[in-house]
Amino acid sequence: MVITVSKKAQLTGHSGSVYALSKGRNEHLFFSGSSDCFIAEWDYNKSESQPFSIKTDTPIYSLAYIPEKEILLAGNGNGGIHIISIKEKKEIKLLQNHKAPVFDIIYNLELKCFISAGSDGLISINSLDDFTCKKIIPVSNYKVRNIAISPDKTIIAAAVGDCTIRLYETESFNEIKQIYAHNMSVNCVCFHPKNKYLLSGGKDGFLNVWNTENFELIKSLPAHNFALYGISFHPTENIFATASRDKSIKIWDAKKIEVLAKLDTKKGGHVNSVNRIFWSEYNHYLISTGDDKSIIIWQINIS
């Protein structure tokens, strides 16, 4: 497998670190959220922000757009989740299930819920129908930075600052297992969309591979020089990307767990920490954000 990479565009509309990304209202649009307290919408084709933007009172750390509901969920720095009607272009509700920054939000239509993870060590399970809180899970006294749902929708994995991955079943959302996963904080987790393994990235710079049948460690690699902040799989190909505080992104062969390409400052990449990555279904662009206040759109070609 040969990877060629080109930088399609670098977007610089935010005035603060960019922490959040989500798909947009149409396939050629996406959202971003920043410490500048703005949520912006961008067009892949025009490489510029759209007239649609939202100003909040606090930094935005997480985003999740739900097209079936035409709502955007935005996790803020005070533990709130803004529920924004895209059709009406206004906030319809503010949830306050957390007491500290909401680092991640995911949703699932089959489970009829969206799930948030906070710096306060809590996970919140919320109804997609009426936005009520179904359950608060006190995970740890440490931060919960990232969450992921298994492809069969039976398990939620949480990346926790106490060096563990916590696993929960999705019927009653009870904990089923704790894994001591890294020597430092676990920052990100991601299930392979087809194969039976879970990836985790830590503050220790390691990438770990876990068998999802018994959650035993398959492989552990020193992936980056500093903390990993994100893992994202390609929509169709068996490759994935990792993002790090070391200012780089790496593209990996998902079968061999080997590095295929490195995107860093030498390739026109970020000059500060890479905070979030998102692999779009639209033209299979890889989107990255960073502390340098920019968003980069990458074109990844495979031969």
Spatial strand order in the sheet of 18-23:
18-23, 29-34, 38-43, 48-55
Q: Is residue 93 part of a domain?
A: no
User: Token pair of 112, please?
Assistant: 């009829």
Distances (CA, A) of 201 to 191, 218, 229, 267, 269: 12, 14, 7, 23, 21
Q: Nearest-CA neighbor of 254 among 186, 182, 191, 166?
A: 191
User: Could you give the percent of the chain with pLDDT greater than 90?
Assistant: 92
Mean pLDDT of 66-91: 94
Please report the pLDDT score of residue 51 as a whole number: 61
pTM of this structure = 0.95
Residue 60 covered by a domain = no
List, in order, residues 6 or more apart from 256 with CB less than 8 Å away: none
- The answer as to whether 28 is a domain residue is no
Report yes or no on 253 lying in a domain: yes
Distance in angstroms (rounded) separating the CA atoms of residues 188 and 231 = 7
Q: What is the mean pLDDT of the chain?
A: 95
In this prediction, residue 303 carries a pLDDT of: 79
250 belongs to a structural domain: yes
pLDDT of residue 249: 98
Bridge-partner residues for 203, per DSSP? none
pLDDT at 88 over 90: no
Residue 79 lies in a domain: no
SS3 266: helix
In a domain, 81, yes or no: no
| Per-residue pLDDT reduced to its tens digit, 236-246 | 999 999 999 99
Domain of 283, in residue numbers: 3-15+101-302
Give pLDDT tens digits for 122-173: 999 999 999 999 999 999 999 999 999 999 999 999 999 999 999 999 999 9
pLDDT single digits (tens) 228-281: 999 999 999 999 999 999 999 999 999 999 999 999 999 999 999 999 999 999
Mean pLDDT of the 61-71 span: 96
Count of domains forming the chain: 1
% of residues, the chain, pLDDT over 70: 98
Q: Are 244 and 224 a contacting pair, CB within 8 Å?
A: yes
Q: What CATH number does the domain containing 110 carry?
A: 2.130.10.10
Q: How many residues does the chain have?
A: 303
pLDDT in tens, 36-57: 999 999 999 887 666 678 899 9
* Residue 64 is assigned to a structural domain of this protein: no
